[in-house]
Structure 1
Amino acid sequence: MTTDGIGRRHAIAGVAGLGVAAPLLASCGDDGASTGTDDSGSGAAAGTVLGATSEVPVGGGTIFDDEKVVVTQPTEGDFKAFTAVCTHQGCVVDKVEEGQIMCPCHGSVFSAEDGSVVNGPATEPLAETAITVEGDEITLA
């Protein structure tokens, strides 16, 4: 044991702890600011073309996995978009059926009309993502 206030075992334990904690802390703080993404967690930049309106069925929706965006069409010609990242624990939703967006991880269900929680465990709605529809093209705004 040293007399300068820190023992060798404490120093080694501290360095080992940093090796575990640093990657964990780094993964917790990403808000998308460094990647040019929006604040909804969608992971895609404004101007990104998602797809054609014909890809989004009336009463249903389409998940654009690369952009982490789900686009729905609750009624004909009315397109909505939300982050595809579940608010419960960050899983990506995997299907849209009968007006509902479903998460495969823990069973959360969201409204395809407004992103609100229909069934938990999620307690927060899916964040709305701004889109523009021009002609038959859907683009992130």
Structure 2
Amino acid sequence: MNTESPVSRRAALCGIVVALAVPSGLVTACGSPAPSGTGSGSTPKQNGSTPTSASSGGALVALADVPEGGGAVVDGPGGKKIVVARISATEVKAYDATCTHQGSTVAEPSGGTITCQSHGSQFSPADGSVKKGPATTGLRAVAVRVQGDQVVLA
């Protein structure tokens, strides 16, 4: 007779995820809160969104390739897509290009709007805020600056 207690499917799957997980965020998905003081602290918010962390000074795109009033979607650190919006001749803003609704990549800014082509969410190029849903959260800011003729990570 088997005296061992059965393991639920959820517990077994969480165990597998924990065993295979490299990013600590996956462990949290199983219901265990991340321990405090493990480097998962929050970053100060800018315009209501948390900037992504990346190596400072990395060139993203030539300023000439980002039209004023428009923008570009470029590869960032780790292959992560970043949308760069050129607000004026000398001002640029950048955001994680992942739509906060269901994770699709947003299109480059056009007509004063960053649009997700999957479900139509619209975001402001000036601050990443939601202009039109279904997304309810703005795009996460990425700190950038203009250095010479390049847009670089700040």
TM-score, structure 1 length as denominator?
Answer: 0.73
Of 58, 68, 75, which aligns to 1:48?
Answer: 58
What is the root-mean-square deviation of aligned Cα atoms in Å?
3.2
For the pair 1:74 / 2:81, whether they are aligned, the reply is no
Count the aligned residue pairs: 130
AA aligned opposite 2:104 = C
Which of the pair has more CA radius of gyration? 1
Q: Which has the higher helix share?
A: 1
Residue of structure 1 in register with 2:136 after alignment? 123
Q: Distance in 2 between matches of 1:93 and 1:28?
A: 26
Q: Distance in 1 between matches of 2:117 and 2:24?
A: 22
Identity %: 38
Structure 1 portions without partners, runs of 5+: none
Residue of structure 2 in register with 1:95 after alignment? 108
Structure 2 portions without partners, runs of 5+: 29-37, 44-49
TM-score, structure 2 length as denominator?
Answer: 0.68
| Worse-superposed segment, 103-112 or 50-59 | 103-112
| Worse-superposed segment, 22-31 or 81-90 | 22-31
User: Deviation string for 1:1-59 (max 9, x for gaps)?
Assistant: 42x353xxx35x65x9625873499478259x99xxx96457x4322210110011011
Q: Which has the higher strand share?
A: 1
Q: Distance in 2 between matches of 1:40 and 1:28?
A: 19
Is the 1:95–1:103 contact (alpha carbons within 8 Å) kept by the matching residues of 2? no
